Amino acid sequence: MSQFEGKAALVTGAGSGIGRATSLALAADGAYVWVTDFDKASADRTVEMIVGQGGRAVSVKLDVSVEKDWQTAFGRIDSGEEALSILVNCAGKSILADSFTMPLEELRRVMAINVEGAFLGMKHAIPRIAKSGGGAVINISSIMGLKGKARMAAYCASKGAVRMMTKAIALECADLKNNVRVNSVHPGVVDTPAWAKHDADEAGMMLGSSGKQASATLDVHAVAKALVPIGVAASAEEIAATVCFLASDVARHITGAEIVIDGGMTAD
């Protein structure tokens, strides 16, 4: 029997990259998946891919930074037959910017998506997961939640907050004995469409003198060559495999923990 048979999962930011790969992996292992994204068309496409591989999923438009969106999504979920067991907080935003000229509003937007989004997900999902008999929350943080990086103050602050919020809520669940485990995953450089959203100026900020490149956008392979000790980027599927491990019963003694997947970036 597939390990997530009879279980349902909600994944945010599931229209692209790690969220899409995670949705596909959970569904391939038997989970019913609520594929959520603020870009509904991209969530629809992920659902098509899941259905195409014989899985079960439905797409939901959800901006993680808007509490009303969570309430609406759960209104729909509560009226269905599937009980929630797994939440993956994956939606995220990164910015590269000079901290001394960056408008405050940009920091607030990063915090609203990365921190408030993960908080709202846990606030609304964990009581439901507990009611369904227990399960797991996986928050996608970053190695930037473990170490600093110049011109990434907002992103580092947000991912560090996700890391500590994970631990605090894991202990709150443990206090309640509600059988909900909460862990964070910290990728380094992952080959997803996120990198192409940064322009050449930002590439210079990220890579410094080691990263001169011809393309107009940030090339993930150039980044990996310059910054990852093993020289290659992770695939989204590799991150998804770790999320599935943390969501599974094999990980039943793991809570409040962080798993780093970074090709050695934080090993020094």
Ligand X SMILES: NC(=O)c1ccc[n+]([C@@H]2O[C@H](COP(=O)([O-])OP(=O)(O)OC[C@H]3O[C@@H](n4cnc5c(N)ncnc54)[C@H](O)[C@@H]3O)[C@@H](O)[C@H]2O)c1
Site membership for ligand X, residue 139 (CB under 6 A): no
Binding to ligand X in span 144-173, by CB under 6 A: none
Q: Which residues contact 93 (CB under 8 A, 6 or more apart)?
A: 109, 110, 113, 114, 155
One-letter amino acid of 186: H
From the list 191, 199, 265, the residue with the least C-alpha distance to 233 is 191
Binding to ligand X in span 196-255, by CB under 6 A: none
* Neighbour tally for 201: CB within 10 Å: 11
* Count of residues touching ligand X (by CB under 6 A): 29
Side by side, the strands of the sheet bearing 8-11 are 56-61, 32-37, 8-11, 84-89, 135-140, 180-187, 258-261
Per-residue contact flags (x/-) with ligand X for residues 37 to 76, judged by CB under 6 A? xxx--x-------------------xxxx-----------
Pick 12 or 59: Cβ nearer ligand X: 12
Q: Which of 93, 163, 181, 198 binds ligand X (CB under 6 A)?
A: 93
- Applying CB under 6 A, the span of 9-17, 98-106, 211-219, 243-251 interacting with ligand X comes to 9-17
Q: Would you state the structure tokens that stand for residue 196, as one six-digit string?
A: 């192409």
> Nearest approach, Cβ of 62 to ligand X (angstroms)?
6
From the list 140, 144, 165, the residue with the least C-alpha distance to 153 is 144
Handedness of CA 220, 109, 11, 60 (dihedral sign): negative
- Applying CB under 6 A, the span of 92-100, 121-129, 166-174, 247-255 interacting with ligand X comes to 92-100
DSSP letter for each residue of 70-108: HHHHHHHHHTSSPPEEEEEE---------TTTS-HHHHH
Q: Which of 135, 160, 187, 263 binds ligand X (CB under 6 A)?
A: 187
- Applying CB under 6 A, the span of 17-25, 128-136, 176-184, 202-210 interacting with ligand X comes to 17-25
Which residues are the active-site residues? 155
Q: Which of 140, 180, 182, 203 binds ligand X (CB under 6 A)?
A: 140
Pick 111 or 140: Cβ nearer ligand X: 140
Q: E strand or H helix at 142, and its extent?
A: none
CB-CB contact of 179 with 193 (8 Å): no
Pick 176 or 216: Cβ nearer ligand X: 216
- Applying CB under 6 A, the span of 72-80, 130-138, 184-192, 245-253 interacting with ligand X comes to 184-192
Pick 130 or 205: Cβ nearer ligand X: 205
Where do contacts with ligand X occur on this chain (CB under 6 A)? 12-13, 15-19, 37-39, 42, 62-65, 90-94, 113, 140, 142, 187, 189-190, 192-194
